[in-house]
Structure 1
Amino acid sequence: MDEQQHAAGMPKNQAKERSLRNTSVAKKVLAGTLGLSLLQVPLLASADTASGTSVVKDSVVSASQDSGSTASKGLNPADAKITKAQAESRVKDLFPVLKEARLDGVTYGEQNVSPPNTKKVWVQNWTIQKGNHSTGFSTEVDAITGDILNYYYPYSYPFDDSNTAYYPPAVSEQEAQKIAEAFIPKAAPSIKAGTMKPSNQNLYLSNKALFGPVQYSFSYTIDVNGIPADNESVSLDVDGNGNIVRFNRNTNQGDYPAAKATISKEDAEKRLEQGLSVTLAYIPSTSLYDTSANREWKIGYVPDRTLEPMDANSGKRIDTIFGKDLDGPSQAVSYTALKASGKLFTPNKGGQLTSDEVLQRLQGIAPGSDYQIQSNLGNYWGGTGKQAWSLNWNKRTAGIYRDDSKYAYVDADTGQLLSYHEFQYPDAEPAKATAPSVTEAQAQAKAIELVLAHYPNAAEALKLSDAKTLNTATKTVYQFVFQRFYKDLPVNGMTVNVSIDGSGKLVNYNADTSLSDKDIKALDNLTAKVDPKDAQQRLLDDLSVELRYISSGGYTVDNTYVEPKVRLAYVPTLNGDRNVGYIDGVTGKTEASSLLPVSNKDKSAALPSDAANHAASKDLATLLEYRVLSPGEDGLLHPEAELTLGDWIQMMAKGVYPDQGYYGGQYQPIFTDVPADSPISGAVQLFLDKGWLKDEKSSELHPEQKLTREAVATSLTTALHYNRLSKFFQQDAQALSLSDANAIQDKGAVALMLKLGLMDAAGGKFDPAKPVTKAEAATIMVRLAHLQSKVDTPLNQRY
């Protein structure tokens, strides 16, 4: 049975602004840790409260839209050094496109954050109106420095695509970088000259797609007192026409500690490496959080303990979630096997569960009758074809507007609990610390009981880690991590996280990142060839530390707000990279982790040898650059390989979403020969949603059939929505004059392809039944990319 991750789905480019904001929390926790710290992914790593994450970044509380009102407690607009009018003038001068927008209101202080903070910013709320359509968005300006903090013009405007930059772009990436670096000092004057460095730490860079719109992403870190700082960065997008379409400035308005460290770098490295060993583990080489991708696996060696940052003056390890000191040296993580006892999870074997049947399975977790429940049956994220129940309980107390809520997500077929989360609006004043009524041992027993009752084969698949986090800032919350194992090896990044509060109540349960049958098959084929001692030596050789300012807090963990804090610390690095890394168990090389998405700029586009001298080498190189094609396991591209219909569908889909990050539709097995777990299911769904399949009534797609030239002509005619026009061209003189016209069934489509210049008829012959090679398809697709700005229905058009 497949176990799948879920999340609220949307196309990547639509989710970008939210992703950039939400990911920053996970990055703060993940960036300074290595190895087993990511075997147990912190509860911060998810981005959606409904999916069970214990971090609350955004609240549903709306700030007042009245001009000049305060959205955060304790803020006074009179303290601003940049006036409201000056802030408005700055954004309009820097982003002329805002002249098309209507300013609806200005707020002093960040909106929609809970608890209210004291960040001194002007938040401007805009609306764009186009006929009966409108959209709202906001910009932010630092009220002290005048820096633009956030700007992202809605990508769906203007509706007519008149300003959209399609391939080939008017400006190159090198030209766009010059534009970006010239713009940054204007938008963020507080950045001192010489303190900005290029960075690849922005995990959600724009997807450069062949079928556009063309955008380039750039990210930079900013040094403070000559030292890198986690809280200081700037990132922006420049489109293919040279316009700034997104700008984000991350900065700390508070004071920074002195830059002087009393502990030397050499001493910090010795403390980090003391007693350090390695553990063999299964490691995903593609992001765990992008289930639309075909997940790939490696076997490798990771550090046997969490490698936390170290305070550069006290020498104490730092908890990256709460920002507090950790006593004593770091210890190797150990695991305790679970003993099957009590109530064990039994998967449903009948039909799909009803909401009432799901509630029966949640007895002991679901709240009482003082909560109103809403349930919704929907598709899993990632196009698996499976469904899950979303349950939302809201407490309604007379006279209280903001009361607590609880969420659960349950597999509709098996009844497995995927996640549970309790959300309470943080009080204006910090809650008073209260003594727990249950001990840690009692809370642990409760956590084990819950896991056994709600996770399939928990006693075989999971082990309890001793790497626990206890939050006692305002109330006691015990947090437990259950590590997923397969064949006695931990699976990197796959855990069940459980939080129990001091009263013994479940606060958070998250188990939605799991192994599929395909994953297990891949793991079975992995065997380590590198000796553990050699891997350990490589780890020690490549391990180092970097002095920098690190930040924590500014978010809520298990309904407890963590105060922001900046510290001077030594941060572990592996081969100079702060990302969690490992030693490849086959090659022995140091590798960066891919638990989170990586920058597109890290992906090589070198043309393989078998394509370098091919007649279509330029077109093949373009498709490689835009990630439509990739070399095979042998490192070659095989340009003369004949394509199947499935290959073509996959290539065209990658022309729109090169990383197959398409979340717009959830694939249901419409075609009997394209199951939900097919590698082309996401691409087929995109074709269905866009109306790119001419005959959707057939029960079979036959993706394995050879792709012919006539099939390509028909496919492109449908994709461009010229179906009716092609009927008009059925008797076109050019098509009828072809020497093999009698062999062509869809003469209108062929005529259109010839007129548009997408395909040729060499020697007056079209060869409709001739199979299409990879090289020929590359040439056609590049021609189509050139045509994007000239057709009425661009392939990436919103729908």
Structure 2
Amino acid sequence: MSLNWKFNLRLKMFATKATTAAMATLLLASQTPGFAGSASAAQEEQLTAATTGENEQLDATSNDVPEGAKISSRQASENILKLFPLLKKATISSARFDSPNSYPPPDYKAWEIGFQITQGNHTSGFSGTVHAGTGEVLSVHLPSDILDKHVSESDVKLTKAQAEEKAVALLYQAISGLKESEYAPIGDLYSSIEQESLFGRTEYRYGYQLKHDGLLSDAETVYINVDESGLVTGYSRGTIEAKYPSSKPAASEEKARQQFEEQFDVELAYIAKDRLSSKQGQQYYLAYTPKNISIIPIEANTLERINTLTGKAVDEDSLQQDTKLKGDVTPFVPANGTRLNVQQAANRVATNFDIPKGYKLEHNQLGKGYYSSPNNQVWSLSWSDRSANMSYMFMRDISAQVDAVTGQIYSYTMMQRIGPEMEQEKPAEEKAGKLVTRKQAEKLAMDTVIALVPDATEEFRLANVIEMDDARTFLFQRYLNGIPVKEDSAQVQVLNNGTVNEFYTRIAATPEQLPADVKPAISYEKAKELYLEEFKLILAYSRYGGYGMNGGQVIPAGVNLAYMPTRDENSIYGNYEALDANTGEWKLLYGDTSSATKAEPTDILGHVAEAALRNMTQHGVLLADEQGRVFPDRVITRGDWFNYLARAINPNMDLYYSGDGDDKLYADVTPDSPYYKAVRALIDQRWLAGADPEQNLNPQEEMTREELAVLLVRILRYEKLAGFYTLPSDLPNIADASAITSKGAVSLSLKLGLLPSIEGRFMPARKVTVAEASQVLERLAKLQGKTDTFMSGNRLY
């Protein structure tokens, strides 16, 4: 079976772990539908006291210690302020007890302390949490209202290594009595995926795994954010109250290793070079990855493989590997060309799924799809039953996505808003045991995939089955040329009563994107040997549970003592790479989108702008080609400049869908334009005038120095100021001042040092090169915090 990791928005709780311990059964868990953190199940204790004077702050805390706590809300707030003294400038606005903002609630009690900052008529609120038993701070993230002011007052620029000293210092302060031997760095899980921006506040993120009884624990993690000025901007502490088993294993490491090697296996797979990217036509490469059971943690007492969702032994019969689909339903047939209206799309859903009586179509929207269909026109639909005899909190919603052209259903979910009283709301038949057999549920799941997924019988195989108390989830893997395609998958959840509760599919790869040669340079035997040489088994604690399911079921949190496969002997998260089947390189499973920035550009050595060019590649503003070339002397177009600016704000632009859209921005900037996303980002940033579909932006035109000066003034918001400089005398010592039309823009660009003169001339008609644009961007970045408006709290994310 392939390791199908699915980026379902409802599974962000898993994605943040980015772990390999979870990797094997995050293929058991991360593809499981129905994980939902929803409404608060907590008891709220509003501890407010009246103010006694006009100038006194509202005191929302007290010295009361409620049942189940060992500290008061006042002590909790003081603990936060010790770690983050900048918050003394904020007002404590509320105190809530018993983890009010999560469901299912954790297995410990917590205080949530609310803060607010008021500036004039503007008030912003945020909160921090503190463990009500130990007094440990669990989470705090400083708001932009505090950070922007702090950054503007600081000229300090720390490297990532220097900033980590601040993170470690805070770690020791936050966890009293912590020793150096009691934690380990998680490693650079994210920096190779997410690139630091040229503009805006640079933040570094550090992760640490804490130990219990000398062993690394998957349940005890800390993440700390530090900005380049050395300010700790965020702290997040994961913990668990569940009882830990003994750290002494009944089975030896030698026996575990022997079993691991006997069961270990690899398979070829197609992997997208940038699996998180939304860009069209990305290429795939051939790699060896471990088969499913190979990297599932091994219980250290029984040597059973354990499911990191439930903590129970894995049922090996559920690992179907590659069972072909068989069914007696009509295979999927696409609609015949014309775009479906909303009712036709809704009818497609009603034909294939049971929409219960009383449900009405309440919302519809035509737009681009999500990760499974980012480049298609898709109807997003939802049904609700607001007349149901239950509160809105426990009401069920049905949602679906339907391709507006082909009629293909990408997803269907009956979403249950869950809470602690959910059992009272369930129909009696859902409380009963399984009413359909495994075989019957499997047939229903296969029939669903055959009827809804193109070429399902040829391209999809049943890969895994997850057994839960109230449902079974069937995971299907897509194959092309007999080789699994990572991420291309389908899944069906069947409830006890035989109802399909959820369906999801993602199909991204096309044959043209795959490598032409399917015969790898590295043999299967050699790949297996390389993996076994690399893999180690670490005795550690593996977390499971703590999740709420769609149907209201809660999986209790706990830990197992386990031997965990990893390529890093100091981390349990060292198994997120695949072996390139042709080069033998280890590559991140989600693609190394910053590889172009890590490599030294091949054509800038000795160039007069070498330092600026290198800086731009390191920040992801310039993207080198496959040979590492950036062509420093190439003349750029207006569109090139727009792309540079947008990547200076967000170099990870291609990783995310924010900025995508369906509307024409300008007559010559349509959704399929290579400049569309950048132009949209710059309009949002107000660095370009608002969209006008009847006007041309002319992104293909080559950029002149005078045009660049005008655009720089727009970025700095100095357009009106530039209007005061209109005479040749406003450009003293510029020999060609009379040839300049936009004298104000040029004058300001000269005064600020952004576009210096060249031997006493400005040369307004001279074309801008990649090298000159890089120098201008570097100078512009140095203006941050030194002007009234440029990058002052208005960074795009």
Please tell me whether residue 252 in structure 1 is matched to residue 246 in structure 2. Answer: no
Aligned to 1:499: 493
Change (3 A) 1:521 1:328: closer
Indicate the residue corresponding to 1:631 in structure 2.
Answer: 624
Code of the aligned partner of 2:640 = D
**2:200 pairs with 1:212:** yes
1:287 corresponds in structure 2 to 275
Matches of 2:347 and 2:308 in 1, distance apart?
36
Q: State the alpha-carbon separation in 2 of the partners of residues 107 and 200 from structure 1.
A: 34
Distance 1:567 1:603 in 2: 40
Q: Deviation of residue 783 (structure 1)? A: 0.5
Over 3 Å counting, the alpha-carbon distance change for 1:747 and 1:525 in structure 2 is farther
> Are residues 683 and 399 of structure 1, via their aligned partners in 2, closer, same or farther at CA, if it must alter by over 3 Å?
closer
| Sequence identity (%) | 27
Give the conservation status (yes or no) of the 8 Å contact 2:108–2:240.
Answer: no
Equivalent positions of 1:614-763 (< 5 A) are 614-660=607-653, 661=655, 663-667=657-661, 668-671=663-666, 673-693=668-688, 696-697=691-692, 699-731=695-727, 733-735=729-731, 738-763=734-759
TM-superposed deviation, 1:25: 2.6
Residues 252/693 of structure 1: CA separation in 2 closer, same or farther (3 Å cut): same
TM-score normalised by structure 1 residue count? 0.86
The CA deviation at 1:152 is 0.9
| Local SS of the residue matching 2:582 | coil
Residue 314 of structure 2 is aligned to residue 346 of structure 1: no
What is the correspondence of 1:188-199 to structure 2 with a 5 Å cutoff? 188-189=175-176, 191-199=178-186
Query: Which residue identity lines up with residue 538 of structure 1 in the other structure?
Result: L
- Give the structure 1 partner of residue 433 of structure 2: 435
Letter of the structure 2 residue corresponding to residue 393 of structure 1: S
| Structure 1 match to 2:356 | 368
Match for residue 126 of structure 2?
137
1:471 paired to 2:468: yes
CA contact (8 A) 1:215 1:240 kept: yes
Q: Does 1:233 align with 2:238?
A: no
Residue aligning to 2:775: 779
Q: 8 Å contact 1:172–1:240 — kept in the other structure? A: yes
Equivalent residue, structure 1, for 2:91: 102
Aligned residue type for 1:142: H
In the alignment, which residue of structure 1 is the partner of 2:46? 66
For the 8 Å contact 2:331–2:452, the answer to whether it is kept is no
Q: Does 1:398 align with 2:389?
A: yes
Q: How does 1:605-616 map to 2 (within 5 A)?
A: 605=598, 607-616=600-609
1:556 paired residue number? 548
Indicate the residue corresponding to 1:121 in structure 2: 110
- Would you say the 8 A contact 1:377–1:389 is kept in 2? yes
**TM-superposition CA deviations, 1:318-370 (whole Å, max 9, x none):** 01222111256997822314568426242362135224642444334252342
Cα offsets for 1:224-283 (capped at 9, x unmatched)? 211111111211112233222111111222332111122222322221221544322111
Which residue is 1:490 aligned to? 484
Partner Cα distance (2:313, 2:677) in 1: 46
Query: Any conservation in 2 of the 1:706–1:771 contact (CA below 8 Å)?
Result: yes
2:479 pairs with 1:481: no
- Which piece of structure 1 moves more, 698-707 or 683-692? 698-707
Whole-angstrom CA distance in 2 between matches of 1:461 and 1:672: 40
1:50 alignment counterpart: none
Q: CA–CA distance in 1 between the matches of 2:529 and 2:194?
A: 37
| Partners of 2:743 and 2:455 in 1: CA distance | 58
Unaligned runs of 5+ in 2: 1-5, 50-64
**2:35 paired with 1:55:** yes
Distance 1:798 1:214, change over 3 A: closer
Deviates more, 1:80-89 or 1:559-568: 80-89
Assess, with a 3 A threshold, how the Cα gap between structure 1 residues 245 and 117 changes in structure 2: closer, same or farther: closer
Is contact 1:166–1:214 with CA below 8 Å preserved after alignment? Answer: no
| Gap change, CA 1:116 and 1:355, over 3 Å in 2 | farther
CA gap of 1:673–1:268, structure 2 versus 1, over 3 A, is farther
**CA 1:662–1:56: 2 relative to 1, 3 Å:** closer
Task: Write the letter of the residue equivalent to 1:271.
Answer: Q
Larger RCO (alpha carbons 8 Å, 6+ apart):
1
Q: 1:162 to 1:298 in 2, by over 3 A?
A: same
Separation in 2 of the partners of 1:456 and 1:328? 29
Superposition deviation, residue 116 in structure 1: 4.1
Identify which of 181, 186, 203 aligns with 2:168: 181
Contact 1:605 1:621 in 2 (8 A): no
Q: What RMSD in Å do the two structures reach over aligned CA positions?
A: 3.4
Quickly say closer, same or farther: Cα 1:65–1:652, change in 2 above 3 A.
Answer: farther
Q: Separation in 2 of the partners of 1:109 and 1:42?
A: 31
Whether the aligned pair in 1 keeps the contact of 2:327 and 2:443 (CA below 8 Å) is: no
Query: What residue is the counterpart of 2:304 in the other structure?
Result: 316
Partner SS state of residue 293, structure 2: coil
| Corresponding residue SS for 1:419 | strand
- Confirm or deny that 1:88 pairs with 2:77: yes
Task: Give the secondary-structure state (helix, strand or coil) at the position aligned to 2:699.
Answer: coil
Greater mean deviation of Cα atoms: 420-429 or 627-636: 420-429
Which residue in the other structure is 1:797 paired with?
A: 794
Q: Which runs of 5+ in 1 are unaligned?
A: 9-18, 47-52, 70-75
**Count of paired positions:** 756
Q: What TM-score comes out, normalization by structure 2 length?
A: 0.86
Q: Alignment partner of 2:241: what SS?
A: coil
Q: Displacement, 1:572?
A: 1.6
Match of 2:522 among 500, 516, 530: 530
In the TM superposition, what is the alpha-carbon distance from 1:592 to its structure 2 partner?
Answer: 3.3
Letter in 2 for 1:422: M
Per-residue CA deviation, residues 636-672 of structure 1 (Å, 9 max, x unaligned), is 4433333233322211111110111565543334345
Alpha-carbon shift at residue 149 of structure 1 (Å): 0.3
Q: Which residue does 2:448 correspond to in 1? A: 450
